[in-house]
Homo-oligomer: A and B are copies of this chain.
């Protein structure tokens, strides 16, 4: 029986959808690495009774450890430490040593901001240094300390790890949390799970459902695998988790998927198309250039996101206007007039132009109708043309009608462009 965990993300701004929660997913990854099973993530507002309800729910589900994020700031709506103290039957007290440490952190900030009220700072510091008795203190990172709070002596229940809301601060405190006595005792029982991930492109979910049904007949122990499938950004992901003795069933499943879906399976080791393209470019000595219209910079943004991208990302040109396509990329104005700005010939000319103008070894281009306006019967919203080209003249092209709203069309177009570039760099054809 593996240790089980729950996560509570607090914050009215998260509950209200104004801020995207990045901590739940990040903590979920960390727990998986540790072999701790995550049962639930709960999101609630900055209200005492709602946070208490979440803690009670998770405790009732029998988890060994509860991770909270948020509610450690200096304002009155930051009440996590206080709620957790009460939940664990512990008193709050002002930790004078912690108050001094926070004051020392705040001091340089006082110089950076003008006209701050020192009394306001003192009150904030004191609030953040008031913690549950017996808590193990983490950090602080930023000005808020993290806390590991076990149930009061003589009581049973989950240990609560209280972490700050800002993701950078939470990341910095996490290793300290793992090292505390409270966390280690609560999570002593860990199973080791294997995690596998298959990624496919150009295949509907029903085909995988059928493959899994066939697998049930053919593969011994398939039910020992926890399999989840998911459509995401135009790709199909199949995630598989199992305990080591079920390795044979996993290998059977992998074989079956390879047998039935070889052309669609682009990743059997969990790597994303972004990572594969980065590796292909790094290894080739080629720098890549981008020419995009409807994706408006998002394709370049995705290619340049990884650390170290400057080694293989030459740059890009974003051209909406026809004139800019001519001027910045050397696209023939006649070509645009004849075929339209959204057309396969213009996509090809954009890739060739980016390759030449940025002195790159590879180029990829996108031109399309992202919507909501601009569609015609012949070229509806979602119609997008792609081209990829290498310095040696080899090239691939695709055109597609991509379903969805403007943001979806833009996002999925970046995925299609990355796959086209991947196939060209691997010397494959464009067709799936």
A231 to B19: give the CA distance in the assembly, Å: 9
Instruction: Determine which residue in A17, A116, A239 has the highest number of CB atoms from chain B within 10 A of its CB, and name it.
Output: A17
Whether the pair B77, A206 counts as a contact (CB closer than 8 A) is no
A356 to chain B, nearest CB (A): 11
Whether the pair B43, A15 counts as a contact (CB closer than 8 A) is no
Which of A49-57, A83-91, A275-283, A388-396 interfaces with chain B?
Answer: A49-57
Consensus secondary structure, chain A interface: mixed
Whether the pair B228, A46 counts as a contact (CB closer than 8 A) is yes
Whether the pair B301, A124 counts as a contact (CB closer than 8 A) is no
A189 to chain B, nearest CB (A): 19
> Contacts of A314 on B, CB cut-off 8 Å?
320-321, 324
Whether the pair B205, A75 counts as a contact (CB closer than 8 A) is yes
Whether the pair B290, A297 counts as a contact (CB closer than 8 A) is yes
A5 to chain B, nearest CB (A): 11
Whether A397 is near chain B, meaning CB under 8 Å from some CB there, is no
Number of copies: 2
Whether A151 is near chain B, meaning CB under 8 Å from some CB there, is no
> Contacts of A340 on B, CB cut-off 8 Å?
none
Whether the pair B206, A121 counts as a contact (CB closer than 8 A) is yes
Whether the pair A39, B44 counts as a contact (CB closer than 8 A) is yes
Whether the pair A20, B20 counts as a contact (CB closer than 8 A) is yes
The answer to whether residues A318 and B316 also contact, given A18-B230, A75-B205 and a CB cut-off of 8 A, is yes
Instruction: Determine which residue in A28, A53, A113, A317 has the highest number of CB atoms from chain B within 10 A of its CB, and name it.
Output: A317
Instruction: Please name the residue on chain B nearest to A12 by beta carbon.
Output: B228
Whether the pair B307, A296 counts as a contact (CB closer than 8 A) is no
Whether the pair A229, B15 counts as a contact (CB closer than 8 A) is no
A321 to B207: give the CA distance in the assembly, Å: 45
A282-325 CB contact bits vs B (8 Å, 1 = yes)?
00000100100001111111111101111001111111110110
Whether A76 is near chain B, meaning CB under 8 Å from some CB there, is yes
Whether the pair B11, A228 counts as a contact (CB closer than 8 A) is yes
Instruction: Please name the residue on chain B nearest to A203 by beta carbon.
Output: B113
A83-115 CB contact bits vs B (8 Å, 1 = yes)?
000000000000000000000000001000100
Please list the 5 inter-chain residue pairs (A to B) with the smallest Cβ-Cβ separation, ordered nearest first.
Answer: A17-B25, A296-B304, A297-B300, A120-B210, A297-B297
